[in-house]
Structure 1
Amino acid sequence: MSQPASFAPEDQTQDLFLGGRLRLSQPRHGYRAATDPVLLAAACPARAGESVLELGCGVGVASFCLGARVTGVRLHGLELQPAYAELARHNAMVTGISLEVHQGDLRQMPAGLRGSFDHVIANPPYFAPQDGTAARDSGRETAQREDTPLADWLLAARKRLHPGGWLTMIHLAERLPDILCAMEGFGSVAVLPLAARPGRAASRVILRARKGARGPFRLLAPLIMHDGPGHDGDRENYAPAVRAILRDGAALAAFG
């Protein structure tokens, strides 16, 4: 499957995030960001003046959500697919949130990203190489299908972090054992399970860890995404804490 070098205007949509605070271009038929990058941004403990590198930034949704919440954070993104990197640069220009976008492979880090950062955030592809049927769209397939092993994502993050820097990652709950096995050089690991409704198993996790730290592992109480036992018609039923993140750009307070 060939990948486009860029997306024509008619192949893009304009999508609202953070209750309309952000209007971002996304591919109409490729990989389209939903809630996960917004939650990822809310979990990152960056402060004004600190530097953040997003590995696999796509069109920049997580970075822009973080930049909308934390004024003065210095944002950098690495994206494998040129067309998505180009859209991320366009979104930076339109939003006025500075994001320095580099196109390349995290296994061969571009020269401009060989420094170190206070934070690394990542939303790696969820699907293992052997799982399911390939997506018809090449961009979606590349964004969602794991080609680079998770261990390589974690190694790249560790290499790019300052001593004491923070890694924040969102992934499938079933991949947590693989992530924890590859956490060499990290400590003070905290895992937040994400469950759709009360009483349901977590489908995803947000993990936060610190380079070189020696603090204990913490498994936090689950974040319940929706109120009630099931979907109630057309009414949005996000739990209040989740609604504050998705609509108002609030920080995710569960990590303390």
Structure 2
Amino acid sequence: MRREPFAEEELRRDAFLGGMAKIWQPKHGFGYRAGVDPVLLAAAVEAQPGQEVLELGCGGAPALVCLGARVGGLSLAGAEIQPAYAALARRNIAENGLKGEVYETDLAAPPAALKARSFDHVLANPPYFEEGKRSAAPDAGRELALAGSLPLADWVTLAARRLKPRGTATFVQRVERLPELLAALAANLGSVEVLPLAPREGRAPRLILARGRKGGRAAFRLCPSVVLHAGACHLEDGDDYTNVIKAVLRDGKPISFSG
């Protein structure tokens, strides 16, 4: 748990979406740093201007900021248990000229102010690992982001409760936890869709994006995989993302469940 605020020398400001978003985050060794996963998560949310969006476990708010940079006029909210990251999220939202607030809270016991609100979209990047089932990261804040005690089903239940009718909840998660995530989605939401993310053509997916709709009635849909990297292997310096993923990461384009 990172409680004390980050000192300026512990942070650096990184450009996302080709510079459309600029996000303060810990330098290597000082805490959890965002990779491409929250950017892909934000790109999968089909938000429209004027809508309200909540991110559960927002960290420093890279996903919220990326979503707000792509879709103008959103009202953003984040929920984050670690005080240092909640403060960082507020700074990132404000310095990107976005409208939003961050609730400093344990998701197991959200405050009344959050429970009184409902949202058009909820997104979340829950910890990929279960607590105590892997070697812990040396930084406590990073470890909490990677492995948490709150069951995955509770993340989905909270997301569903905070949605308006017909609202969507979108998650990114490791493929190993897909059965657990699907069970929770089926118990709380409808019109469930899963988009596998394969590292390269012909490789098994390692991550998935999953989405459900409150009150949705459509049949479950498994979408064709989106391939992240071009070629059979990494051959030279620099990234080798496919054109679809380059458009998401550099140009702020959405990622579609429809192909």
TM-score category by the smaller chain? over 0.9
Q: Please, which runs of 5 or more residues in structure 2 have no aligned partner? A: none
Q: Please, which runs of 5 or more residues in structure 1 have no aligned partner? A: none
Q: CA deviation at 1:226?
A: 0.7
**How many pairs were matched up?**
255
Cα deviation per residue 1:17-67 (whole Å; 9 max; x = unaligned)?
Answer: 111222111022211101000000000011011110000000010001000
Aligned to 1:109: 110
Cα deviation per residue 1:115-166 (whole Å; 9 max; x = unaligned)?
Answer: 1111100000001123221111010011111210001101100110112110
Aligned to 1:237: 240
- In the alignment, is the contact (CA less than 8 A) between 1:126 and 1:171 conserved in 2? yes
Which of structure 1's runs of 4+ aligned residues deviate more than 3 A? none
C-alpha separation between the residues in 1 aligned to 2:50 and 2:95? Answer: 22
For 1:132-211, list aligned pairs within 5 A.
Answer: 132-183=134-185, 184-211=187-214
Aligned to 2:14: 15
- In the alignment, is the contact (CA less than 8 A) between 1:190 and 1:255 conserved in 2? no
Structure 2 residue matching 1:133: 3-state secondary structure:
coil
C-alpha separation between the residues in 2 aligned to 1:217 and 1:77? Answer: 28
Aligned to 2:255: 252
Q: CA deviation at 1:169?
A: 0.5
- In the alignment, is the contact (CA less than 8 A) between 2:23 and 2:92 conserved in 1? yes
TM-score, scaled relative to structure 1? 0.97
Moved more, 61-70 or 17-26: 17-26
For 1:211-226, list aligned pairs within 5 A.
Answer: 211-226=214-229
Q: CA deviation at 1:176?
A: 0.5
Q: CA deviation at 1:3?
A: 2.8
C-alpha separation between the residues in 2 aligned to 1:182 and 1:92? Answer: 30
Amino acid at match of 1:139: G
Identity %: 49
Structure 2 residue matching 1:38: 3-state secondary structure:
helix
C-alpha separation between the residues in 1 aligned to 2:131 and 2:189? Answer: 26
Amino acid at match of 2:98: I
Q: Provide the aligned C-alpha RMSD in A.
A: 1.1
- In the alignment, is the contact (CA less than 8 A) between 2:74 and 2:99 conserved in 1? no
Amino acid at match of 1:111: A
